[in-house]
Structure 1
Amino acid sequence: MKKILMAVAATSLTASAFAQSNVTIYGSLDAGVAYVNNLGGKSVVRLDQGTMQPDRIGFRGSEDLGGNLKANFQLESGFSTDTGAQPSPGKLFNRMSSVGLSGDFGAVTMGHMPDIVFDYAGKFSNGYQLTNWYLFHPGNLDSLANTFQFDNAVRYTTPTFSGLQTSGMVGFGEVAGSSSTGRNLSAGATYTNGPLRAVLAYSKLNNRAAGYAGAFLSSVGLGSAATVFNSLTTVAAGLGYTIGNVRLNTVYTQVKIDLPSDAAPKQKNFDLGAAWHYAAADTLNVGYSLSKLEGARWNTVSLSNVHALSKRTELYVQAAYQRAGGDAKYAVMNGTGNAGSTGVAGGPSQLVTTVGMHHSF
């Protein structure tokens, strides 16, 4: 009898331990047929992926340690639904890989993670709010598309006081003899009051690879030989407001680009968008963006409709049009390149339309 009671007690303790922990598997798959004009003077019809939301699979979990203290982790990997390929070969969890503690003191997180400009301000951009990858800014120098995360990072986020929360993080460069080479810094604040949310954010990335932003800068005669930036410094502000069935968003970013040539041009971006939930299953999205770099400018307008088949499955139709002006001779829409990267059009204008399906789990 004693053995039976001990076995029952052990089973109860084990069940209690499991009840204090949880792990969630989540993800997103998105594919659509897109028409893109003016790629080298020609047009193309293709299958695009991740237009509404990035394709990804992730694992997040927490363990209750008692006293309102929790251990947390998150692992997230991006992929392409159309090919099954990884966007960053060699990085299994290219989007997120972190572990940390949270409690009454706030939260400390360590690992590979997006910066605070994306986490706070990026969520008020047209690309995010209007769910259209093509609407992120030329070159993605402000990282609102979450294509450059911090490695070797430590982040601290405060508790929320009267709607106000602040956060700061550092990504260590880990170069012997130099504390600044490869180092990334970011900070921000967010305030929520009913239907209003406002954010401010800052990031400075040292020695970041130019990547596809190099082709963008070359199109306006800047940074043609740069493969690595000395630094990118971004300041951002965003606002969101909900009125009945209408959600409004706006964001402003300014990026100082410190090039190896000692030039330091600035890119300024402004978004204004609205999402109207006009029927039980339908949302109409309308957006406008203006980007400036020295004497060059790009105006982008967008229109889309999202129809929900369920809470997890949506059908969408989208259109985005960009026109270059001033010193800019070419449209540069995010994601129009044949490899899915930032592409430079064959002339001053470009149109992208997509009809697709998005499913989350």
Structure 2
Amino acid sequence: MKKFTFAAVLGSFTCIVHAQSSLALYGVADAGFIYNSNSKGHSLYTAGAGNLQGNRWGLRGTEDIGGGLKAIFVLENGFNMYTGGLAQGGDLFGRQAYVGISSEYGSLTMGRQYDSVVDFTGPFEVGTQWATYFGAHPGDLDNMNNTNRINNSIKYTSVNYAGLKFGALYSFGGVAGQFNRNQIFSGGVGYSNGPLAVGVAYLNVRNPNVSLYGNMAVSSATASNMGGSTVIAGYATAGSEQVVAAGGSYTLGLATFGGTYSNTQFRSLGQTAVVATGQVISGTAKFHNVEVSLKYQITPTWLVGVAYDYTLGYGVNGARYHQAVVGTDYFLSKRTDLYFDCVYQHASGTDSTGHMAVANINALSASSTANQVATIVGLRVKF
């Protein structure tokens, strides 16, 4: 009888705890195969992981602490499906890691987080929807595809006010005696009502080679952290980076029309000493980027999409990138889907390294010519 009473009391206590708090395990497993028509002069067939959506597993929790307040946290790991290794440069929770408080007015969180461009305009880019990250804007120059997260940040996100949401983020530079060095701030607003959704955002980064591109365990304090993309790799010496972005979509029956615009500027080039950037330049490198897209829901489980993206570089150097994407996504169930995408890019002008621009589809090795084609087929499972 005592054992039964103890079990009953314990069971009641467990129910109370569950009513006040929650913990969820979630994730994405995504793998496929990629054909690159020109990788440094040769065609390449390779396995690719996290194409449609980055591979991850995470823990998300909330606890009711009274007075209408909740403690919240997210720990999200990124990994390579084919090797089992850590993504995001070897960081254990490289995708997200934050803790904070939420209320009826919004949430305030601290940690490694997404900026406002990702939150308010990124969802309108086809690379974050059906086109895989190969269909992102060249070099993901405006970070709409969420290549870079923000360390040392504090972030406010409002609740939804009849379709209106807004937010802001600030990242501390952490350099003694130089308050502005390495700091990052961003803000954005989004509105969704019926078939219409729009968003605008702003991002400002000081010393981007370190604070934005170099915020992982494997990053260098003296060399370039801006990767191999010829679109932006030559701008590692920038004193600051600025992104102004906007996006929107409108659904008409089974069709959704979408578009994005961004202006990205790498300012005060040559201000930061970086080893082996490829050239010595000064001034400001600027980019206009415009994307238009159409997504059509053939059936509730099958969609097709097309998109065109144009990137115009001006200021220091200058390149033009024309990019077209077609793709399809078929859902076998609510959590499992098959996808296929084809990306074509044509380049002209002078790229960030000071050389004749070659095609360089996002996340792939550059072509040896002005043209490049990539096809991607894969399977994604959410849990």
Name the TM-score, length of structure 1 as normaliser. 0.91
Query: Residue 312 of structure 1 aligns to which amino acid in structure 2?
Result: R
1:184-223 residue CA offsets vs partner (Å, 9 max, x unmatched): 1010011111111111100111112265646445x6xx87
Q: Is the 8 A contact 1:129 1:249 kept in 2?
A: no
Judge which range, 17-26 or 324-333, deviates more.
Answer: 324-333
Aligned to 1:113: 113
Q: Distance in 1 between matches of 2:47 and 2:196?
A: 37
CA distance in 1 between partners of 2:33 and 2:357 (Å):
28
1:341 matched residue in structure 2: none
Choose 179-188 or 11-20, whichever is displaced more: 11-20
Say yes or no: does 1:278 pair with 2:298.
yes
- Equivalent position amino acid for 1:353 in 2: T
Residue in structure 2 matched with residue 252 of structure 1 by the alignment: 261
Corresponding residue for 1:319? 342
Distance 1:110 1:13 in 2: 31
Contact 1:139 1:212 (8 Å CA) reproduced: no
Stretch deviating more after TM superposition (170-179 or 16-25):
16-25
**CA contact under 8 A between 1:110 and 1:153: conserved in structure 2?**
yes
Percentage of matched positions with identical amino acids: 34
Take 2:7 and 2:303, find their aligned partners in 1: how far apart are those partners?
55
Aligned to 1:304: 327
Supply the RMSD in Å over aligned alpha carbons.
2.2
* Of 189-198 and 260-269, the range deviating more from structure 2: 260-269
The 2-side partners of 1:302 and 1:91 are apart by 31
Question: Unpaired segments of 5 or more residues in structure 1?
Answer: 338-343
Aligned to 1:84: 84
Q: Describe how 1:1-361 pairs up with structure 2 within 5 A.
A: 8-9=8-9, 11-209=11-209, 213=226, 215-217=228-230, 224=234, 227-258=236-267, 259-260=269-270, 261-294=281-314, 295-327=318-350, 329-337=357-365, 344-361=366-383
Gaps of 5+ in 2: 214-223, 271-280, 351-355
- Distance (Å, rounded) in 2 between the aligned partners of 1:318 and 1:223: 26
What amino acid is the match of 2:241? L
> Distance in 2 between the 1:11 and 1:56 partners?
33
Instruction: Count residues with an aligned counterpart.
Output: 351
Structure 2 letter corresponding to 1:154: I
Whether contact under 8 Å (2:71, 2:102) holds in the other structure is yes
SS in 1 for 2:320: strand
Tell me how far 1:95 sits from its aligned partner: 0.7
| 3-state DSSP of counterpart to 1:148 | coil
Partner SS state of residue 57, structure 1 = strand
